[in-house]
Amino acid sequence: MLTDRATGEGIAKLHQKRLNHLEALEAESLYILREAVAEFARPVMLYSIGKDSSVMLRLAQKAFYPGKIPFPLLHVDTSYKFPEMISFRDNYAKEIGAELIVHRNEAAIADGASPWKLGTQNCCGALKTRSLLDALEEGGFDAAFGGARRDEEKSRAKERVYSFRDAAGQWDPKNQRPELWSLYNSRLRKGESIRVFPLSNWTELDVWLYLYAEQIPIVPLYYAEDRLAVIRGGMITLVHEGMHLLPGEKPELMKVRMRSLGCAPCTGAIRSEAETLPEIIEELIGFRRSEREGRAIDHDEEGSMELKKREGYF
Amino acid sequence: MSTLPSAERSVNKMSFRAFLDSHLEQEMLRFTTAGSVDDGKSTLIGRLLHDTKSVYEDQLASIRASRVNRSGGAVDLSLLTDGLKAEREQGITIDVAYRYFSTAKRKFIIADTPGHEQYTRNMATGASTADVAIVLIDAKAFQRAGELLPQSRRHTYIASLLRIPHVVAAINKMDLVDYSAEIFEKVSAEFAALAKRLGLKSVEVIPVSALAGDNVVEHSTNMGWYTGPTLLEYLETVPLTIRETADGPLRFPVQLVVRPDAEFRGFAGRVERGEVRPGMRVKALPSGRVTTVKSIITYDGELSVASFPLSVTLELEDEIDLSRGEMLIGENQNAPRVSSAFRAMVVWMHEQPLIAGQTYLAKHTTRTVRATVRKILYGVDIQSAEQRESSRLQMNDIAEVEFDTSLPLFFDAYATNREMGALILIEPVTNATVGAAMIIDAVEPLRRETEAGKGAAFVWLRDRPAEAAAFRDALQARGRAAVIVDDALIPEVALAGVVRALQLAEVSAISARAALSDSTIEAVRKAAGDSYFESFVDASRWMDASSNAEEMP
Domain containing residue B100: CATH number: 3.40.50.300
Q: List, in order, residues 6 or more apart from A151 with CB less than 8 Å away.
A: A157, A202, A203, A204, B99, B100
- Do B321 and B280 belong together in one domain? yes
DSSP B28: E
Both B474 and B530 in a single domain? yes
Same domain (yes/no): A71, A151: yes
The pLDDT of residue A245: 87
Distance between CA atoms of A101 and A115, rounded to whole angstroms?
25
Question: Using CA atoms, how far apart are residues A50 and A267, in angstroms rounded to an integer?
Answer: 12
Please indicate, yes or no, whether residues A183 and A241 belong to a single structural domain of this protein. no
Which chain B residues contact residue A25 at CB under 8 A? 28
Please indicate, yes or no, if residue B552 is contained in any of the structural domains: no
Q: Which of A62, A180, A289 sits opposite B124 (nearest CB)?
A: A180
- How many whole angstroms separate alpha carbon B549 and alpha carbon B542? 11
Strands A225-232 and A235-238 turn out to be antiparallel
Instruction: Name the DSSP class of B220.
Output: P
Mean pLDDT, residues B186-214: 95
B309 preceded by a cis bond (ω within 30 of 0)? yes
Number of neighbouring beta carbons within 10 Å of residue B1: 8
pLDDT, position A156: 81
pLDDT band at B188 (very low <50, low <70, confident <90, very high): very high
Q: Is B349 on the interface with A (CB under 8 A)?
A: yes
The nearest CA of chain B is from the CA of A160 a distance in Å of 9
Least confident of A167-171, B352-356, B418-422, B433-437: A167-171
Residue A4 lies in a domain: no
Determine contact, residues B468/B461, Cβ cutoff 8 Å: yes
Q: Give the Cα separation of A27 and A19 in Å (integer).
A: 10
pLDDT, residue A285, reads: 76
Q: Assess whether A184 and A270 both reside in one domain.
A: no
Q: Which of A279-283, B159-163, B180-184, B440-444 has the lowest mean pLDDT?
A: A279-283
Query: What phi and psi, each to the nearest 5 degrees, are found at residue B160?
Result: -75, -40
User: Residue A178 burial (CB < 10 Å; 0-12/13-18/19+)?
Assistant: buried
Backbone phi, psi, residue B59, to 5°: -70, -40
Both A45 and A107 in one domain: the answer is yes
A207 shares its domain with A137: yes
Chain A, window 7-46: residues with a beta carbon less than 8 angstroms from a chain B beta carbon? 10-13, 16-25, 27-28, 30-31, 34-35, 37-38
What residue type is A173 in one-letter code?
Answer: P
pLDDT band of residue B448 (cuts 50, 70, 90) is: low
Q: Which residue among A155, A285, A290 sits closest to B56, beta carbon to beta carbon?
A: A290
CB within 8 Å of chain A, chain B residues 70-99: 81-86, 88, 94-99
Instruction: Give yes or no: residues A63 and A145 share one domain.
Output: yes
Q: Which residues of B touch A62 (CB under 8 A)?
A: 298-300
Under the banding of pLDDT at 50, 70 and 90, the label for residue B69 is low
Same domain, B162 and B283: no
Percent of chain B at pLDDT exceeding 70: 88
Say whether B301 and A150 touch across the interface (CB within 8 A). Answer: no
In terms of C-beta density within 10 A (0-12 exposed, 13-18 middle, 19 or more buried), how is residue B413 classed? middle
Domain count, chain A: 2
B285: which strand partners? B327
CB within 8 A of B375, min separation 6: which ones? B356, B401, B402
Do B393 and B501 fall into the same domain?
no
Rounded Cα distance, B298 and B289, in Å? 25
Q: For chain A, say whether B120 makes contact (Cβ under 8 Å).
A: no
3 state SS of B182: helix
Q: Give the span between the Cα atoms of B362 and A301, in whole angstroms.
A: 42
B73, B180: one domain: yes
- Produce one character per residue of B400-411: b if its CB has 16 or more CB atoms within 10 Å, e if not: bbbbbbbbbbbb
Question: Between the ranges A83-92, B38-47, B521-530, where is the mean pLDDT highest?
Answer: A83-92
**Chain B interface includes A185 (CB < 8 A):** yes
Q: pLDDT at position B480, please?
A: 85
Residues in chain A: 314
- How many structural domains comprise chain B? 4
- The pLDDT, as a whole number, for residue B7 is 42
Instruction: Examine the domain organization and report whether A168 and A254 are in the same domain.
Output: no
- Do both A116 and A238 map to the same domain? no
Q: What is the pLDDT of residue A284?
A: 82
Do residues B278 and B179 both lie within one domain?
A: no
* pLDDT value of residue B456: 87
Q: Are residues A242 and A207 in the same domain?
A: no
Whether residue A149 is found in the same domain as residue A259:
no
Same domain, A121 and A162: yes
Q: Where does a domain end: B389, B418, B442? A: B442
Residue B447 maps to a domain:
no
Q: Residue A298 phi/psi, 5° resolution?
A: -70, -15
Inspect the interface and report whether the beta carbons of A10 and B301 lie closer than 8 Å: yes
By CB neighbour count within 10 A (0-12 exposed, 13-18 middle, 19+ buried), where does B41 fall?
Answer: buried
Full DSSP string of chain A = --B-TTT--BHHHHTTT---HHHHHHHHHHHHHHHHHHH-SSEEEE--SSHHHHHHHHHHHHHTTTSPPSS-EEEE--S-B-HHHHHHHHHHHHHHT--EEEE--HHHHHTT--HHHHHHHHHHIIIIIIHHHHHHHHHT-SEEE----TTSSGGGGG--SEEEE-TT----TTSPPP-BTTB------TT-EEEE-TTTT--HHHHHHHHHHHT----GGGS-EEEEEEEETTEEEE--TTPPPPTT---EEEEEEESS--BTTTB-EEE----SHHHHHHHHHH--S-GGGGBGGGGSSTTHHHHHHHHT--
Q: Which of B11, B25, B85 sits opposite A285 (nearest CB)?
A: B11
B364 phi, psi to nearest 5 deg? -130, 130
- Which of A205-219, A300-314, B326-340, B414-428 shows the lowest mean pLDDT across its residues? A300-314
Contact residues for B304 (Cβ-Cβ < 8 A; gap 6+): A13, B277, B278, B296
For residues B324 and B209, state if they share a domain: no
Reading phi first (left if > 0) and then psi (alpha if -120 to 50, else beta), residue B206 is in beta
What is the spatial distance between Cα A35 and Cα A54, in angstroms, rounded to a whole number?
20
Q: Is the pLDDT of residue B88 over 80?
A: no
DSSP one-letter code for B352: S
B306 and B180 in one domain? Answer: no
Residue B90 — very low, low, confident or very high, per pLDDT cuts 50/70/90? low
| Claim to verify: residue A17 and residue A34 sit in the same structural domain | yes
- Helix, strand, or coil (residue B348): strand
Q: Is residue A3 part of a domain?
A: no
Give the pLDDT confidence score for residue A243 in this predicted structure.
Answer: 84
| pLDDT value at residue B240 | 83
Show which of residues 248-287 on chain A sit within 8 Å of chain B, judged by CB atoms: 278, 281-282, 285-287
Q: How far apart are CA B363 and CA A38, in angstroms?
A: 14
ipTM over 0.95: no
Per-residue pLDDT in tens (0 to 9) along chain A, 314 residues: 444 333 444 444 433 457 889 999 999 999 999 999 999 999 999 999 999 999 999 999 999 999 999 999 999 999 999 999 999 999 999 999 999 999 999 999 999 888 888 888 899 999 999 999 999 999 999 999 999 999 887 778 888 999 999 888 888 777 789 999 999 999 999 889 999 999 999 998 899 999 999 999 999 999 999 999 999 888 899 998 878 888 888 999 999 999 889 999 889 999 999 999 988 988 887 654 455 555 554 444 444 454 555 555 44
Which of A2, A23, A180 is facing B125, going by the closest CB pair?
A180
Check: CB of residue B313 under 8 Å from CB of residue B271.
no
What is the predicted pLDDT for the residue at A182? 95
Contact B159, B200 (CB under 8 A): yes
In this complex, is the C-beta atom of B409 within 8 Å of any C-beta atom belonging to chain A? no
Q: How many residues does chain B have?
A: 553
Distance CA A275, CA A223 (A): 5
First to last CA, chain A: 29
Closest chain B residue to A20 measured between Cα atoms?
Answer: B27
Note the pLDDT of residue B452: 46
The amino acid present at B541, given as its one-letter code, is R
Instruction: Choose among A216, A213, A217: nearest CA to A2.
Output: A213
Q: Which residues of B touch A30 (CB under 8 A)?
A: 311
Residue A291: the pLDDT is 56
Q: Is A209's CB within 8 Å of B23's CB?
A: yes
- Within-domain flag for A199: yes
At B413 the pLDDT is: 97
Q: How many CB atoms lie within 10 A of CB B340?
A: 24
Cβ atoms of B501 and B473 within 8 Å: the answer is no
Residue A104 to residue A123: CA distance in whole angstroms = 13
Are A149 and A207 spatial neighbours (Cβ–Cβ below 8 Å)? Answer: yes
b/e map B324-334, b = 16+ CB within 10 Å: bbbbbbbeebe
CATH number, domain of A162, equals 3.40.50.620
Contact status of B294 with chain A (Cβ, < 8 Å): no
> Confidence band (pLDDT; 50, 70, 90) for B243?
low
Domain finish residue from B195, B223, B240: B240
Q: Which of B421, B442, B463 is the last residue of a domain?
A: B442
pLDDT recorded at residue B530: 81
Write the CATH number for B252.
Answer: 2.40.30.10
The residue range of the domain holding B302 is: 245-330
**Strand-pair partners of B202:** B166
- For residues A133 and A169, the answer to whether their CB atoms sit within 8 Å is yes
In angstroms, the separation between the Cα of residue B361 and the nearest Cα of chain A is: 10
Task: Domain of residue A225: give its range.
Answer: 220-300
Q: Are strands B398-411 and B337-348 parallel, antiparallel or unpaired?
A: antiparallel
Same domain, B294 and B229: no
Q: Which residues in A lie closer than 8 A to residue B437 (C-beta atoms)?
A: none
Indicate whether B216 pLDDT > 70: yes
Is the pLDDT reported for residue B304 higher than 90? yes
Q: What would the pLDDT profile of B451-472 be if each residue is shown by its tens digit? A: 445 688 999 999 998 889 888 8
Residue A181 counted as domain residue:
yes
Partner-chain contact A34 B422, CB within 8 Å: no
Nearest to B474 by CA among B372, B383, B543: B543
Provide the CA B168 distance to its chain's centre, in angstroms. 21
pLDDT, position A299: 46
Tell me the residue type at B536: F
Inspect the interface and report whether the beta carbons of B128 and A180 lie closer than 8 Å. Answer: yes
**Residue B533 three-state SS:** strand
Looking at the structure, do residues B232 and B255 belong to the same domain, yes or no? no
- Same domain? For B21 and B105 the reply is yes
Phi, psi of B15 (to 5 degrees): -70, 160
Angle between helices A83-96 and A51-63 (to 10 degrees): 10
Q: Are residues B396 and B536 in the same domain?
A: no
Amino acid present at B45: I
CB A231 within 8 A of CB A271: no
